[in-house]
A and B are shown apart, each in its own frame.
Chain A
């Protein structure tokens, strides 16, 4: 039944009646674009027309003011009843004469009253409203629907939710366990994966590339597993090792190296969009982020089963601890995966901020573990993949029921941290810290009263002091006598004398008025100084009073660090600063001097308090370690936000997982956030995506491209697998092998496929230009970590200390201070993975070499070639230093000649023996640099130049 909510509109005046002048910001911009439609309103589905076209217009543009609470102008546009009742001046739609409806004239900006006030609706929106009004303004929500009916309808429509194609999409099908196929050239097979690859090549009539030579293979495997070049002696050993398992032992050695976790942990940190600050608006530090990073590196080194790794990162805090104190330190730290994303802490629409954070967490979880882009469904059902808006909000409910903030609604919100200690211990620590703050405050409060009184007395005599001082330093009066005569403090006057006495080359501009004043105007000038000073002193007292009040409040509220004592900005008024705050400033008081101005009874009390404070400070326990993490929060009944607008909640949804993946068949989540259930659901052995996505990532990091070439997108717009059976085979082996990543490395690396040369066999290049059939090992540029760490390794400068933090301080920094920049990787010798990253200002080097932006999960980095990278190689101090150090090492070996030095240079930089023509041309080059007048270089310079040539060469930067 459709009720017609229209009544005749009588005589509308142009006076301000009805709609109110609304200023409320309520648009979600994604929602504004509505193409015009001229048929739907009268078509078979008027309800749909209303929901798609009309309700969003009301929601986005009107309901900010015309809602049941505000009812501005008497109008409520959020319900059919409110709409039918109209505004204070009557109905807004005319049944008899819809063309003349008030609604249309107001939105058409045709009369004095114009709605919405901030912006005329777009033409398509106005057209849609007109069409709707002309069709009788049907409002389908007027029928009351019982929850039972909703459930029934849902069950009915489930089948209809997705198309056949969507339900049959490859990525959602169970993982198959295909047998490795038969091949003709059995001799090529070293690993089952070779069968899948070769069968395909044979099918296409192509041959695989020949095996890479030993040095190439070693360089490939070493960079691949550790991100560093092989050492001279490793090369020699491997080249000389004829045993059949020589390469096997190399792989074993590399997998056992701690450098492995640093390299592969860094790969995962790309996926986890890891950084050490919030980025976005204020870029606050995450001071504890490094613990998550160290956890990841350790997890790879220890070969933590991947399913456990996934569970820990989503719900580690909820997993049993196993330790005596019940604190699952590892698990808590692991949830840094959820906690360390970008956040807009100063966003003042706090609900928006929170839901942006949940969105960000969902984005990283769904892309990282499932290769699915779920967050497109925030505003509308996913356009390409079978992800419903309801699915989005079901998942959002899990994150909304999880705590990501300690103080979400403060001016600058504070992200959540968890102590890595029993809660009581942490509380004891906090209490102790609060006690110290309270004690300090007690002392300040007591002392400041007297100090202020003293200061006020001095300020009252400022002009007098200045004039007296001048009589001493200018007219030669005797200080002591004058002090008595003028009833001034002798010591203070002494300081005035030394402060005001002109200095040679006096640069104190703020004293020039005084120093250049003619004798007769001095009293006047002194008074001017006095007046300005007094005004500032008054303001400053007020500042300090406010500060004390804030400290008092903080001390009372507990758990809130008291604000720092304000510092007067010397630039604002140097005179005021000098006099009050500089060392030996005329009115400045040291602590002892302060004590001296306190009357004795109070002084004794203060001394006692100081003693107590000292004791408290001495007994303060060490602060328990903290971790950026999440925790279970209050359970939220999540609503669908219509068109993604949190101001516009629709129906409630239960917490759960995407429908297409069987999410609705799971037991309902009622007693908890559902994070743990999500973690367990994702790591079920039969999950169609988790294992596939991860083995594909591992393949991608080994071979430069995945079997699915869009590692973060297994959806419709992603790539299809080039070798679907192989992908499934690997996924099965992965799960069978206890989700061991190291086993997967061995499976892939000990294959002929991995050991192919980068030079394609004849024909292959033409027929397989993109290497989708795996005719060769893809040549690729080293990533920025391997370039930078690798160069540091070449000259022996790389510092291999592991773990810990290089980032100090909290919060953010003054705008435009250098502290806002990330630590410069050209100035530190630790591995790059350990350098803290400020998201808003990444180091130039990282931007230059395609690091990505660390704000969204990165599945695949690019490997560009641009001129600024070349400038880095040619001109940076960093590369110059590496080359010079290496040159020095080569030259320091006095036992050899230049030819042997060249051999060694090739071995260190390019990890292979030099060819004889390379030695020849190298020697000729050195000779030219030494002998030709335009160059005329010393030995060290010439060798530096030669080393830089090798470091900057394509051969160094391209891995084969």
Chain B
């Protein structure tokens, strides 16, 4: 007769026993166990704010006087490979005023007044370079380093390198990610073990309402009460342990027994992390949850903070697929920026107030910028040759401007930061040497930065 099955709530004891056993089998039992970085990290986690579609750098972070002077004049250089097949339109001046923000005086346009108030937290990089002129290629390269092959995403590499601190939550969470332009390939673990792939919370096509009740698939038991499920799991573990005992405690059988323990804990603990509604009214207001226009991205940002403070290693908020203004730049960028500006500023304010910003690297970027020339009279085409992003917290210089584009904002010319360099830099901030973070697959050692990548040491605080 099975005494352990009869004793009711034996879970904690069992978990302890299993933890001991797992030590016998070494770290291999849990691929997500925290691992030491290569060197002292500046950031422990990442919050990536992805502006899908390609926000226009010359209208947001990279003011170019020459565009005002030469507004309406033809492009003075040969146009590089473009997405638009028609001849380029004339130079088009920025559609918004730029004003200095904070004490650092970093210019940010009127599109982002709230973020501008946080200018002293920002490290603006104006010299990003990618290779894809179409969204798919650009997204894949932004997230995986290449658009040609399926490769692990940056978050997967980070998780592979560092593991995660909170075993009750996934270590790499994509909040409402896009399904387009690579879709889940942008958070895939590719040839890295599956445990390192991102866990999606809904997708960009869903409303927060559709997502929040079961943020992660299979997380919620719907048929049985927790007490009833407890009985079942105890029975299952008893059956499994007896099975394992008769097979000389094969480590893979033990690992699966442990996986059920972990799953049960996750199911008990994780939902609370997603209960954004429990935040105070003041906090919700800070993120714009009280206004319809900002409520979606505000929810994402506030959830990101909740996950960050619970030790999730890598979190992405996604504003998809909004920023692709080949036409109607003024109307649509205005609307887009309104949806994210306040939530982002709220996130920065909140992270700073709670002290999390010190070791949380916040990254704001799109897959590329937009051309200084107009398209269809009132829009701009894709520009991967020189665009702006910003980082904050996590060991980057606050209130700092890095790199520059040419006079018209088309090409990056100074302190050029290719996506490989960007990846090398982010890994460096996380305490990982991008040249050492390798994985042997198909007879070769792979890394996020392939055979390139230089760390931008100038931006380190």
User: A residues touching B (Cβ–Cβ < 8 Å)?
Assistant: 21-25, 29-30, 32-33, 114, 117-120, 122, 279-283, 342, 344, 346-349, 356, 359, 367, 373, 376, 384-385, 411, 710, 712-713, 715-718, 758-759, 765, 779, 781, 815-818, 820-821, 838-842, 844, 847-848, 850, 853, 855-856, 862-877, 880, 920-921, 924-925, 928-929, 932, 934-935, 937, 941, 944-946, 948-950, 952-955, 957-958
B266 contacts A by Cβ under 8 Å: yes
| B243:A779 contact, CB within 8 angstroms | no
B220: CB under 8 A from chain A? Answer: yes
Q: Is the CB of B77 within 8 A of A21?
A: yes
CA distance A844 to B443 in the complex (A): 28
Is B320 a contact partner of A871 (Cβ separation < 8 A)? no
Question: Shortest 4 CB-CB distances between A and B: which pairs?
Answer: A281-B136, A840-B183, A870-B263, A717-B443
Q: Are A348 and B81 in contact (CB under 8 A)?
A: yes
Q: Tell me how far the C-beta of B344 lies from the nearest C-beta in chain A, rounded to whole angstroms.
A: 21
Write out, one digit per residue, whether chain B residues 132-150 have a CB within 8 A of any chain A CB (1) or not (0): 1111110110000001111
Contact A928 B231 (CB under 8 A): yes
The answer to whether residues A713 and B77 also contact, given A279-B150, A877-B222 and a CB cut-off of 8 A, is: no
Give residues of chain B (237-267) contacting chain A, Cβ–Cβ below 8 Å: 238-240, 243-244, 247-248, 250, 252-253, 255-260, 262-264, 266-267
Indicate if the CB atoms of B451 and A868 lie closer than 8 Å.
no
Contacts of A119 in B (CB 8 A): 129, 412-413, 416, 418
What mask results when residues 226 to 241 of chain B are scored 1 for a CB within 8 Å of chain A, else 0? 0111011101101110
Question: A953–B153 Cα gap in the complex (Å)?
Answer: 33
Query: Which residue of the partner chain B has the closest CB to A884?
Result: B223
Q: Are B183 and A820 in contact (CB under 8 A)?
A: yes
CB-defined contacts of A925 to chain B, threshold 8 Å = 5, 231, 235
Contacts of A853 in B (CB 8 A): 150, 185, 188, 190-191
A347 x B178 contact (CB < 8 A): no
Once the chains bind, are A867 and B451 in contact (CB under 8 Å)? no
> Which residue from chain B places its CB closest to the CB of A29 in the assembled complex?
B452
Cβ-defined partner of A862 (8 Å) among B150, B194, B197, B247 = B194
Given A118-B129, A779-B250: A866 touches B443 (CB 8 Å cut-off): no
Option from B6, B321, B420 in Cβ contact (under 8 Å) with A29:
B420
Asked whether A848 lies within 8 Å of B194 as measured between CB atoms, the reply is: yes
Contact between chains at A346 and B135 (CB < 8 Å): yes
Chain B residue contacts of A839, Cβ below 8 A: 185
Binary contact readout B58-89 vs A (1 if CB under 8 angstroms, 0 otherwise): 00000000000000000001111111010000
**A-B Cβ contacts below 8 A, count:** 292
Give chain B nearest CB distance to A220 CB in angstroms.
Answer: 15
Q: Which residue of A lies closest to B238 (CB)?
A: A921
- Asked if B267 and A874 make an inter-chain contact with CB atoms under 8 angstroms apart, the answer reads yes
Residue B377 is within 8 A (CB to CB) of chain A in the complex? no
A868 touches B134 (CB 8 A): no
Q: Bound complex: CA of A119 vs CA of B5, how far in Å?
A: 68
Q: By the criterion CB–CB under 8 Å, are A868 and B199 in contact?
A: yes
Across the interface, do A840 and B80 meet the contact criterion of CB distance under 8 Å? no
Contact in complex: A114, B150 (CB < 8 Å): no
- Report the nearest B residue to A27, measured CB to CB: B131
Task: Tell me whether B147 and A924 are in contact (CB under 8 A).
Answer: no
Tell me if A872 and B218 are in contact (CB < 8 A).
yes
CB distance from A510 to the nearest CB of B (A): 17
Residues of B within 8 A of A921 (CB): 1-2, 5, 238
- B82 CB to nearest chain A CB (Å): 8
Name the residue among A862, A924, A929, A935 with the largest chain B CB count within 10 angstroms: A935
Given A23-B411, A713-B442, A924-B1, 10 extra CB contacts under 8 A? A23-B77, A347-B134, A349-B81, A349-B133, A716-B443, A718-B443, A779-B247, A855-B190, A870-B262, A949-B236
Count, chain B residues at interface, CB 8 A? 106
A955 touching B243, Cβ below 8 Å: yes
> Please, which residue of chain B has its CB at the minimum distance from the CB of A849?
B194
Task: Give Cα distance in the complex from A774 to B147, angstroms.
Answer: 42
In the complex where A119-B129, A856-B149, A925-B5 touch, is A376 in contact with B179 (Cβ < 8 A)? no
Closest residue of chain B to A928 (Cβ to Cβ) is B231
A114 x B411 contact (CB < 8 A)? no
B450: interface (CB < 8 Å): yes
Of all chain B residues, which has the CB nearest A862? B193
A63 to chain B minimum Cβ distance, whole angstroms, is 15
Please name 29 pairs of A and B residues whose Cβ atoms are closer than 8 Å in the assembled complex, sorted by A. A25-B131, A25-B385, A117-B411, A118-B385, A118-B416, A122-B454, A282-B136, A344-B147, A346-B135, A349-B133, A359-B148, A713-B443, A758-B247, A815-B204, A817-B205, A820-B179, A840-B185, A862-B193, A864-B193, A865-B259, A866-B32, A925-B5, A928-B231, A948-B236, A949-B232, A954-B243, A955-B239, A955-B243, A958-B252
CA–CA, A761 and B392, complex, Å: 60
From the candidates A356, A872, A924, name the one contacting B2 in the complex (CB within 8 A): A924
B residues lining the A interface (CB < 8 Å): 1-2, 5-6, 8, 31-32, 77-83, 85, 129, 131-137, 139-140, 147-150, 170, 178-185, 188, 190-191, 193-195, 197, 199, 203-205, 216-224, 227-229, 231-233, 235-236, 238-240, 243-244, 247-248, 250, 252-253, 255-260, 262-264, 266-267, 320-321, 385, 406, 410-413, 416, 418, 420, 440, 442-444, 450-452, 454
**Across the interface, do B218 and A874 meet the contact criterion of CB distance under 8 Å?**
yes
Q: Which residues of B contact A718 (CB under 8 A)?
A: 443
- Whole-angstrom distance between the alpha carbons of A376 and B78 in the complex? 34
User: Which of A118, A710, A779 touches B443 (beta carbons < 8 Å)?
Assistant: A710
Q: Are A954 and B240 in contact (CB under 8 A)?
A: yes
Q: A934 vs B7: C-alpha distance in the bound complex, in angstroms?
A: 13
Task: Check A875 against B221 for contact (C-beta < 8 Å).
Answer: yes
Q: What are the residues of chain B within 8 A of A958 when measuring CB–CB? A: 252-253
Selected contact of B263 from candidates A347, A867, A945, CB within 8 Å: A867
Check B134–A815 contact: CB distance below 8 A: no
Q: Is the CB of B190 within 8 A of A867?
A: no
Of B244, B406, B444, which contacts A373 at CB under 8 A? Answer: B444
Q: Are A817 and B136 in contact (CB under 8 A)?
A: no
Chain B contacts for A877, CB-based, 8 A: 222
Given known A-B contacts A713-B443, A874-B260, A281 and B137 have beta carbons under 8 A apart: yes
Q: Is the CB of B450 within 8 A of A30?
A: yes
Q: Chain A CB within 10 Å — which of B6, B77, B132, B194 has the most?
A: B194
Chain B: CB-nearest residue to A855 = B150
Asked whether B219 lies within 8 Å of A875 as measured between CB atoms, the reply is: yes
Q: Does the CB pair A952–B236 fall under 8 Å? A: yes
Q: Is the CB of A844 within 8 A of B252?
A: no
Interchain CB contact under 8 A, A712 and B442: yes
Is A411 a contact partner of B256 (Cβ separation < 8 A)? no
* Cβ contact within 8 Å between B183 and A871: no
Q: How far is the CB of B144 from chain A (nearest CB, A)?
A: 11
Known A-B contacts A411-B85, A935-B231; the reply to A815 vs B181 at CB < 8 A is: yes
Question: Which residue, of B83, B134, B232, B450, has the highest number of chain A Cβ atoms within 10 A?
Answer: B232
Closest to A359 in B: B148
Report the Cα distance A586→B179, complex, angstroms: 39
User: How many angstroms from the CA of A848 to the CA of B200 in the assembled complex?
Assistant: 12
**A850-B194, A870-B259, A935-B227 are known contacts. Are A281 and B134 too (CB-CB below 8 A)?**
yes
Given contacts A713-B443, A874-B218, contact A953 B31 (CB under 8 A): no
Give the distance in Å from the alpha carbon of A132 to the alpha carbon of B135 in the complex.
40
Give the shortest distance, in Å, between A192 (CB) and chain B (any CB).
Answer: 31
CA distance A701 to B321 in the complex (A): 42
**Given A24-B80, A281-B134: A866 touches B259 (CB 8 Å cut-off):** yes
A841 CB contact (under 8 Å) in B134, B183, B232: B183
Known: A848-B194, A921-B5. A949 touches B80 (CB 8 A): no
Compute how far the CA of A713 lies from the CA of B443 in the bound complex, rounded to whole angstroms.
7
CB distance from B1 to the nearest CB of A (A): 7
Given the interface pairs A29-B420, A347-B134, the reply to whether A815 lies near B321 with Cβ below 8 Å is yes
Q: Are B219 and A866 in contact (CB under 8 A)?
A: no
Q: Measured between alpha carbons, how far is A758 from B247 in the docked complex, in Å? A: 9
Q: Tell me whether A23 and B410 are in contact in the complex, defined as CB-CB below 8 angstroms, given that A344-B137, A864-B194, A928-B231 are known contacts.
A: yes
Given A281-B181, A373-B444, A864-B193; A949-B134 close (CB under 8 Å): no
Q: A114 CA to B450 CA in the complex, in Å?
A: 27
